[in-house]
Amino acid sequence: MSIELKTSTWDDFPLVKIINARGENGYRTQADFDAHQLVFTPERSIMAFDGKHMVGNALSYEMDMYIPGGLSKIAAVASVSVQATHRRKGINRAIMKYQLEDIYSRGEPLAVLQASESIIYGRYGYGLASFESNLEIEKTRSAYAVEHASMGQTYFVEESEAREIFPQIYSKAIENRNGMVTRQENWWEFRFREPGLKGGDPKSWFVKYQENGQDDGYLRYTINGTELNVIELIASSHQAYSSLWRICLDMDLVDVIKAEHRPADDELKWMLADPRRLVERSSDRYWVRLVDVRTALSQRSYSSDGSLILKIQDDFLPWNKQVVELSSESGKSLCSISNKTPDIILTAGDLGAVYLGGINFSTLLSANRIEEVTEGSVAQANLMFSTSRKPWGFDGW
């Protein structure tokens, strides 16, 4: 069997989405096609053919993600699938190799994905870099430890107003929050349609929080019977955050409140009088792949000055297989090739895991994933890579 890899055209779009849906054991409606057309980039979509039959595909989107110190271009990898008739034949590996080489040629130092199966992507140098919390609480158990007196006012708004004001609120609220991605106009349109995709219910309610004439937060939610589901709760201040949560937690005719894709260090637990009543289910969110190690490490900022000699093991992308010196001084970072004895030996995947600050080097050392050659270097790495908050990967793609 000979497999040919090709780049898509717009003519391929319907079949690409059908192939991906089939790989997920699902279907696509016209609403799905219409929404995904908004963000589809043919030249970033890779197809695998067995003769005339498309048997696999993967695509990526160009996005900007906050990393420690600012924004980075990333390739947001999605729709990775191989048909059930052609699995276990090396097709996915070939697609991943082709895609990462293409991402490298575009000058994008990072690839980021959400894994449908967590066993797969470590093989290609992705590291588990962030977690999320899916929350659930009974309304009767949701009192705050300190009574909340709102300094502002919440208002219901129509979708038309939400479309106007939510992007500005979002941009302000996510600034410098590691793991969050900016949204261009086409992605905002996609997000407004998203609840109605894959057969979902498109109807939802919109709320804004306003203080001193300034919009500082918003809430989008749905209600199914006596269950309230938070779609998005985004706030740029504690007052906005607390007030919007109280709207959810005090909603009439509701028994249970649920919220998915919340940060692993969401502060709601610490605001509740009875934090045990907040049921949290943790799951992995973003997997990060350093496509260009030196560029990725150079563009990141570090929490303390210092230097490390890192030996990178990367058989999948051989240009990363090198010893590098990472140095940070007075807020300036540099990563260059080195011939010195390494302080730490680790894979590109494990470097991806620590990149956003959600995982520390000591954890990987204890798990026997990395090797500390120079005593004290792991402690130094922990200090340099540490961040004040856990990364929050809210958007899916």
Q: What is the pLDDT of residue 350?
A: 98
Distances (CA, A) of 5 to 40, 61, 113, 310: 18, 19, 21, 35
How many folded domains does the chain comprise?
Answer: 3
pLDDT at 1 over 80: no
CATH of the domain at 252: 3.40.630.30
Q: What is the pLDDT of residue 26?
A: 86
Mean pLDDT of 214-224: 97
| 107 vs 20: CA distance, rounded Å | 27
pLDDT band at 385 (very low <50, low <70, confident <90, very high): very high
Q: What is the DSSP string of 259-322?
A: EEEEETT-THHHHBSSGGGSEEEEEE--EEEESSHHHHHHHS--SS-EEEEEEEE-SSSGGG-S
Residues 14 and 85 in one domain: yes
Query: Phi, psi (5° rounding) for residue 179?
Result: 100, -20
What pLDDT, in 10s, does the model give residues 340-377?
999 999 999 999 999 999 999 999 999 999 999 999 99
Residues 30 and 147 in one domain: no
Q: Which residues of 382-395 are buried (b: 16+ CB within 10 A; e: fewer)?
A: bebbebeebbbbbb
Query: Phi, psi (5° rounding) for residue 358?
Result: -85, -25
pLDDT at 145 over 80: yes
Residues 84 and 156 in one domain: no
Mean pLDDT of 152-177: 98
Residues 96 and 223 in one domain: no
| 22 vs 255: CA distance, rounded Å | 36
Burial class, 241, CB count within 10 angstroms (exposed 0-12 / middle 13-18 / buried 19+)? buried
**Does residue 275 belong to any structural domain of this protein?**
yes
Estimate the share of the chain in helix, then strand, then coil, as percent rounded to the nearest 5: 35, 35, 35
